[in-house]
Structure 1
Amino acid sequence: MKIEINKKRYRDFDSYMKEKFQKKIIKLPLDGGFTCPNRDGTLSKDGCIFCSETGSGEWTIGIKSIAEQISYQKARLSKEGRPEAYLGYFQNFTNTYANLSKLRELYYEALDDEEVIGLAIATRADCLSDDVLDLLEEINEKYFLIVELGMQSVKEKTLDLINRGYDQEIFDKGLRKLKARGIRVLVHMIVGLPFEDFEDYMKDVSYINEAYPWGIKIHNLYVEKNSRLEKFYKENRIHYGMDMENYVKIVVEILRNLRPELVINRLTGDGIGEKISFPLWSKNKAKILTSIDKMMKEKNFRQGDLWKEN
């Protein structure tokens, strides 16, 4: 069966993986039962201001064995007759924040499934001890590994506001430690954080181009009902002013200014619709992506067409 490759004007994850493995590679969201130093009192008990009660693991199914979760997610996400393989995606909370024996057990339980070709591990840049890095390097030598780091912004005022718990210098050190081990690093960037503007997003892009990770996820900020972030907006009487049209324009400019080699893993947030308080347009993920593709095509834009190496 021939694999359909997307004809995107940016280097999208789906196409990258199809070309590499000649299969559709599906991420299976997994809950490893982790917490976070920003939740357990080590740094804070509040977490990042935008993080949900599930630790940004909306599509995980709770604490079952890793094998059971893999079986469930395969049934939910697979399509009959399509050549497929899987990445075990340790998604919610901080997935390197545990003792080494637990990490090894969880990671290899996922990799024991013969259809799982590797892992995506979401974590914090301040939770990468040398022992953890050794384990990640070991896995990276045998499997396809992505380590996701929640950068969100490079602006220190924003980092304080969102309660990330560590500064940009620590983030940069974590990213570079992973790269020095030959590990693919994926950074998260949020568009629409309070008091940020286009100039701030371009500073994020400049840093990303200079640090040169393997890939990027771009999220629009969405605010969940009854969250600390919703409370912050209400108490400070802040208006969320970004509409979908503006978001699409910003994302297109970000893509045009990014290195063309970076793998684009996401261009929107992926919250659960009924939990989103605002903006309501963020619920329509398909429309956002279609609008980005349409603008790129109509104006003959491509990822990196404004990027220039210094």
Structure 2
Amino acid sequence: MASAGTGSYWPWNDRQGRFSALRAGCFALVLVPALILAWQAWTHQLGSKPWTQAVHDTGTWALRILVITLAVTPLRRILDWNKLIGIRRMLGLSAMAYALGHLALYCIDLAFDWGLILSEIVKRFYLVVGITALIGLVALGITSTDGMIRRLGSGRWQRLHNLVYPIACLGLFHFALQSKIDVTQPVLLTGLFALLIAYRGLSRFRIPLSFTSLALTGLATGLATALAETAWYAFATGASAWLIFQANADIVVYQDWTALRPGHWVAAVGLALAVLHLFRKPAPKPERRQRRQAMASEAAGG
């Protein structure tokens, strides 16, 4: 067995230095987007502007992984799967890595012309928003180690890392602004992010997790996502908000699964988690475990 001092540094090992299938699987999955992108670049599948496409893909994956990172704590509670907490840091660092790759590819696309790069960032609002989010993400990544937790103290460290939520908001806003007209992906990620915030709200207000509370939360967040998408398109195009909102009913009217909108996906995820909550295997409480051990010891002694 690898010692905790050496083996635990490998991404597929847990904090005790033992191999973890969960961590190994997570590590393999976060590499997949980079490998796909590398293969597409090698086989010339990135279109007429390969660097620009690579910039967009890495940015999208940075936000996807960031949202997945923020999902760890709510999922751990909903599914009673405490081991999920072991992959949160890896996911957060992966989101930072893709975000840094996003910036690096942007610099390559502009031929490392630092004057042009700086002028572009300064004069384009969506780039100011994006670089601010990136700086915040890097700050969180640098301070994510056990050593930094000890140096900062758990209270200050937690307050610093709570900034991940406004950082995620800035990243999603940057994504929506640079997407211009088609904001399907940004709205979907924003809706999922809102669902995670809603789950945290249930915990904060001590609302018990149940099929009903989780299902209603999913449906309400799906509706809010549809309304947000409607508002964006109505503002950007000047089209009728009611007609845009009615497009969410196309899946029922035309029986066309390709008509699924972000609001549908968010509601579906919420309902799926509500169902999974019913079939979870509750994790044993520490006090219950200790009580069982004590009773077993007494029985053995008797």
TM-score (ref. length: structure 2): 0.27
Greater percentage in strand: 1
Higher relative contact order (CA 8 A, sep 6+): 1
Query: Which entry has the higher C-alpha Rg, 1 or 2?
Result: 2
Q: As a proportion of its length, which structure holds more helix?
A: 2
